Amino acid sequence: MKNVDVLVIGAGAAGMLCAAEAGKRGRSVLVVDHAPAPGEKIRISGGGRCNFTNIHASPKQFISQNPHFCISPLARYTQRDFIAKVERRGIAYHEKTLGQLFCDGSARQIIDMLVEEMTEAGVVLRLGTSVSDVAKTDEGYVVDLDGGAVLCRSLVVACGGKSIPKMGDDRVRLRYRGKVWGRGGRDAAGARAADLRSNDAGKARAAGRRGY
Ligand SMILES: Cc1cc2nc3c(=O)[nH]c(=O)nc-3n(C[C@H](O)[C@H](O)[C@H](O)COP(=O)(O)OP(=O)(O)OC[C@H]3O[C@@H](n4cnc5c(N)ncnc54)[C@H](O)[C@@H]3O)c2cc1C
């Protein structure tokens, strides 16, 4: 059975950034996605130019059952870190309104940046790969994938929200949560996932209103 330190399910913004950071820390990382291309939601974000961060982002802008949950991660990885990453890659950007930063060119530049960072960190990306089962073991998790099972010490479920089902969202994260963390559990990861889901749904509704 193939063995990796970290298996990430989902090659969206969250999964790719997480995979690249884990790879930079010397972990062997495999990212799988059932879609044929990574970062499809990034591609349509910000009307195709990706509003990749906001200068004024702070814990105050996050709604959560646990308002303290986002403080530590946001302190350890700030919008300035992401802006520095974008600048290092020479991606031109501009401020639109109220601190929103957009690419001058295409959102695809952000996808390419994340894929390049994963490649440089030795991360393996497998697209068109479905996950059929996850089982907890003493060593970590056994994940059944197309092409065989993989054993990983850490499993990251970054399957996104349900805002646009045709972009690959499905209910898999909830099924995995039921299995890995206990159905209906109010763990921090679940609370965060719920935040992202409602945030995404809100953005999709707003997108419909704005017509992008
Ligand atoms: C129209 C629109 C515009 C937006 N504009 C912006 C913006 O300008 N700025 C901004 O910050 N945010 C924007 N957002 C929100 C932003 O795009 C999302 O919050 C973000 O992309 C979510 O990233 P993610 O990695 O959590 O999930 P996703 O991007 O949804 O990635 C999840 C990945 O998991 C994969 N996956 C799902 N289930 C499985 C499975 N069972 N097996 C394998 N793979 C699976 C999917 O194929 C997908 O690639 C916008 C959203 C929408 C809908």
Instruction: Among 35-44, 109-118, 171-180, name the one with the lowest average pLDDT.
Output: 171-180
Instruction: Compute the distance between CA of residue 122 and CA of residue 125 in angstroms, rounded to an integer.
Output: 10
- 168 vs 111, more confident: 111
Sign, CA torsion 138/3/179/11: positive
Tokens of 87: 């600048």
Whether the model pTM is above 0.75: yes
User: What's the pLDDT score for residue 174?
Assistant: 44
From ligand 1's centre to the CA of 138, what distance in Å?
A: 31
pLDDT per residue over 76-97, tens digit each?
999 999 999 999 999 999 999 9
Ligand 1: nearest atom to the Cα of 15 = 25
With 60 as the cut, is the pLDDT of residue 175 above it? no
User: What's the pLDDT score for residue 170?
Assistant: 56
- 168 vs 10, more confident: 10
Instruction: Compute the distance between CA of residue 89 and CA of residue 83 in angstroms, rounded to an integer.
Output: 10
pLDDT per residue over 95-113, tens digit each?
999 999 999 999 999 999 9
Task: Choose which residue among 9, 41, 110, 164 to substitute to test ligand 1 binding: the one with the highest number of ligand atoms within 8 A of its C-beta.
Answer: 41
User: What's the pLDDT score for residue 186?
Assistant: 36
With 60 as the cut, is the pLDDT of residue 200 above it? no
What amino acid is encoded at 141 in this protein?
A: Y
Ligand 1: nearest atom to the Cα of 51 = 8
With 90 as the cut, is the pLDDT of residue 199 above it? no
Kindly list the protein residues whose Cβ atom lies closer than 6 A to any atom of ligand 1.
9-15, 32-35, 40-42, 44-46, 50-51, 130-131, 158-160, 163-164, 168-170, 172, 196, 200, 203-204, 207
pLDDT per residue over 132-142, tens digit each?
899 999 989 99
> Which domains occur in the chain, in start order?
2-52+106-210 (3.50.50.60)
Q: Whose CA is nearest to atom 4 of ligand 1?
A: 45
From ligand 1's centre to the CA of 149, what distance in Å?
A: 25
* Strand duo 100-103 + 51-54: pairing: antiparallel
Coil vs helix vs strand at 63: coil
From ligand 1's centre to the CA of 1, what distance in Å?
A: 30
